[in-house]
Amino acid sequence: MMSELKRAIDQISKDRGIDRDLLIDTLEEAVRSAVARKHGDTMDIEVAFNEDSGEIEVFEFKVVVAEVHDPVSEISLEDAREHDPNAQLDDEMGFPVNIEDLGRIAAQSAKQVIIQRMRDAEQEIIYEEYKDRMGEIASGIVQRRDRTGWIINLGRTEALLPKDEQIPRERYKRGDRVQAYIIDVLKESRGPQVIVSRSHPDYMVELFKREVPEVADGTVKIMGVARDPGLRAKVAVMSRERDVDPVGACVGIRGSRIQNVVQELKGERIDIVVWSPDIAMYAQHALSPAVITRITVDEEEETLEVVCPDDQLTLAIGRKGQNVKLAAKLLGWKIDIFTESRYGELNASRKGMDQIASVAEISMESFFNAGFESLESIVRASDEELLAVSGLNERKIADIRLAINMLAPEIAALATETGADAANDDTNDTPADGEETK
């Protein structure tokens, strides 16, 4: 007949998914410490689980000596021969210990150790399980709010949805079912701490994998996600097969697939854009729905100068700058947007700046950074003011003045006009109507 202890071990092992040998080791260790607490550490004991009887057996070992100094670890030859007539000096003899004599306290402490070890083992199993599930979607029930966020019951353990991982303006109450993306699993003393997110870009990737078979099997690859959680997102996609339209696959018939993702994210508007290895082409797609007429690429600074028709500016920038912000996040580049008319004005005033910059052997950027946006502004500046431009010295300033005289004499003439105006200003201190005093 199977013993009660053996039945308990088998039951716990099966119910809790804890390794049976680990349980037996834990039990043996608990009994060992209980015996040591009662009889002292000097007692040499061996604890073993007897599979046949289903009981824990404890043996104490004593050395056979001629004269006993320590009755806990030694036994006289005379006493030893009563147990075994063949006993010799220096033999080590084992005697069974009645563990029922351990007393209630020892038994209780053994039980506590077992419970603790079981908890530890269970927590370890849960930790390993969730560590392997990082990057997956988990679903649970909202339990309570604490100062760091919402605690969500995942079944076997709890997860934390921190404030900064929530979708702004989303409201929860106890008992709501919610799903989120596992971003981290921490080992904590009271058990594993699973951290989940609803605002993470990869949560959107996982949602698309769930809704779009082509994304799940890798035919359509998501190349990037930029989110303004709860409001708007841009997802860049590419297809590995020529006859599969990546945008169509993600949107689905009459928007059925994308609609499920939008619903899960409480109405976050999603633009699906086609990824391109050509940054200008990619930017054009990323800035949709706005129409773009020209893009200038600065590879070194990773900056794009984008020109759009005047009536497309609001669309390109988007509400509160959202469209251009998300496009820049998706590309990882800085984007400057101009209307065609503003770009035309800027270009006219910057015309010739590149030639002047090459004469001075410095970049146009150095002029812009010092506040000189056009040839006129350079002409009007004094030599002292021009020395503020990084890389300019007096010799280079003289070269610039000469180059402007040759390249744009009409602009160079401004300098003399400015001088004449200044002289007139000195003679007339009273401001005219509509003018401001300098």
CATH of the domain at 252: 3.30.300.20
Residues 77 and 90 in one domain: yes
Residues 210 and 234 in one domain: yes
Q: What is the full DSSP assignment across 146-213?
A: ETTEEEEE-SSSEEEEEGGGSPTT----TT-EEEEEEEEEE--TTS-EEEEESS-HHHHHHHHHHH-H
What's the pLDDT score for residue 29?
Answer: 78
Q: Show which of 127, 152, 175 is a domain's final residue.
A: 127
Q: What is the pLDDT of residues 198-235, one digit of tens each?
A: 999 999 999 999 999 999 999 999 999 999 999 999 99
**Within-domain flag for 194:** yes
What's the pLDDT score for residue 38?
Answer: 72
Q: How much is the average pLDDT of 119-127?
A: 83
CATH of the domain at 98: 3.30.1480.10
Q: Are 143 and 176 in contact (CB under 8 A)?
A: no
What's the pLDDT score for residue 111?
Answer: 63
Q: How much is the average pLDDT of 236-255?
A: 93
Residues 230 and 247 in one domain: yes
Residues 251 and 193 in one domain: no
**Within-domain flag for 109:** yes
Q: For the chain, how many structural domains are there in total?
A: 4
Q: Tell me the C-alpha to C-alpha distance, in Å, between residue 413 and each of 209, 376, 402, 404.
A: 66, 10, 12, 10
Q: Tell me the C-alpha to C-alpha distance, in Å, between residue 168 and each of 142, 148, 228, 298, 345.
A: 17, 15, 9, 35, 41
The residue ranking higher by pLDDT, 62 or 344, is 62
**Within-domain flag for 307:** no
**The pairing of beta strand 137-146 with beta strand 149-153:** antiparallel
- Look up residue 219 and give its DSSP letter: S
Residue 146 phi/psi, 5-degree rounding, is -125, 180
pLDDT averaged over every residue in the chain: 82
CATH of the domain at 156: 2.40.50.140
Residues 195 and 206 in one domain: no
Residues 8 and 121 in one domain: yes
Smallest CA-to-CA distance from 212 within 154, 270, 285, 288 is with: 270
**Within-domain flag for 138:** yes
Rounded distance between C-alpha atoms, residue 250 and residue 235, angstroms: 10
Q: Show which of 127, 146, 163 is a domain's final residue.
A: 127
What's the pLDDT score for residue 260?
Answer: 92
What's the pLDDT score for residue 437?
Answer: 34
Q: What is the pLDDT of residues 137-148, one digit of tens each?
A: 999 999 999 888
Residues 192 and 220 in one domain: no
Residues 146 and 190 in one domain: yes
What's the pLDDT score for residue 333?
Answer: 93
Q: Are 250 and 272 in contact (CB under 8 A)?
A: yes
**Within-domain flag for 296:** no
Residues 16 and 68 in one domain: yes
Q: Is the confidence at residue 282, as pLDDT, over 90?
A: yes
**Within-domain flag for 341:** no
**Within-domain flag for 317:** no
What's the pLDDT score for residue 51?
Answer: 81
Residue range(s) defining the domain that contains residue 215: 202-275
Q: Show which of 127, 156, 176 is a domain's final residue.
A: 127
Residues 154 and 175 in one domain: yes
Q: How much is the average pLDDT of 343-367?
A: 75
Q: How much is the average pLDDT of 177-186?
A: 94
Q: Is the confidence at residue 403, as pLDDT, over 90?
A: no
Q: Are 97 and 87 in contact (CB under 8 A)?
A: no
What's the pLDDT score for residue 413?
Answer: 63
Residues 90 and 188 in one domain: no
**Within-domain flag for 410:** yes
Residues 157 and 62 in one domain: no
